[in-house]
């Protein structure tokens, strides 16, 4: 990354530069892969049964239930974000990954 070269160094900006590098190193893999794992979803902001419903539907290859959960996650994302500060983006990605694993066509 060219902005880390010493000959382009701006005094006093070393901490800012390293903070930017840290953010990039964390954000790029997440953006590239999406939120596809259960650990990336903030489950504490959802009803405890939500993850179980998704995982059960995926295991049973119940594409209709997964499609319904996907639609509900999209429909409630703004309200969920307003209530918790977190949109349903990670949950939606998790459901999409479950749909793929179940062989569902979306």
Q: Which long-range contacts (CB under 8 A, 24 or more apart) does 10-16 make?
A: none
- The residue among 70, 74, 62 whose CA lies nearest residue 95 is 70
- CA 17 – CA 40 distance, rounded (Å): 26
- Name the strand (E) or helix (H) holding 49: helix 49-59
Q: What is the pLDDT of residues 23-73, one digit of tens each?
A: 444 444 443 444 457 789 999 999 989 999 999 999 999 999 999 999 999
Quickly count: other Cβ atoms within 10 Å of residue 80's Cβ.
17
> pTM for the whole thing?
0.66
Q: What is the pLDDT of residues 83-99, one digit of tens each?
A: 999 999 999 999 999 99
- CA 33 – CA 94 distance, rounded (Å): 11
- CA 6 – CA 58 distance, rounded (Å): 51
Confidence category of residue 18, pLDDT binned at 50, 70, 90: low
- CA 75 – CA 106 distance, rounded (Å): 16
How does DSSP assign 23-40, residue by residue?
Answer: HHHHHHHHHHH-S-SGGG
Residue with tokens 């900006």: 13
């Amino acid at each position: 990354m060219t902005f880390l070269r010493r000959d382009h160094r701006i005094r006093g900006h070393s901490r800012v530069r390293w903070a930017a590098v840290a953010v990039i190193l964390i954000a790029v893999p997440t953006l590239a892969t999406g939120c596809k794992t259960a650990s990336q979803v903030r489950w504490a902001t959802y009803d405890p049964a939500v993850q179980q419903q998704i995982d059960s539907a995926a295991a049973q290859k119940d594409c209709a239930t997964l499609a319904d959960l996907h639609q509900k996650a999209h429909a409630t994302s703004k309200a969920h974000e307003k209530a918790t500060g977190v949109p349903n983006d990670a949950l939606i990605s998790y459901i999409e990954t479950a749909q793929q694993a179940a062989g569902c066509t979306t």
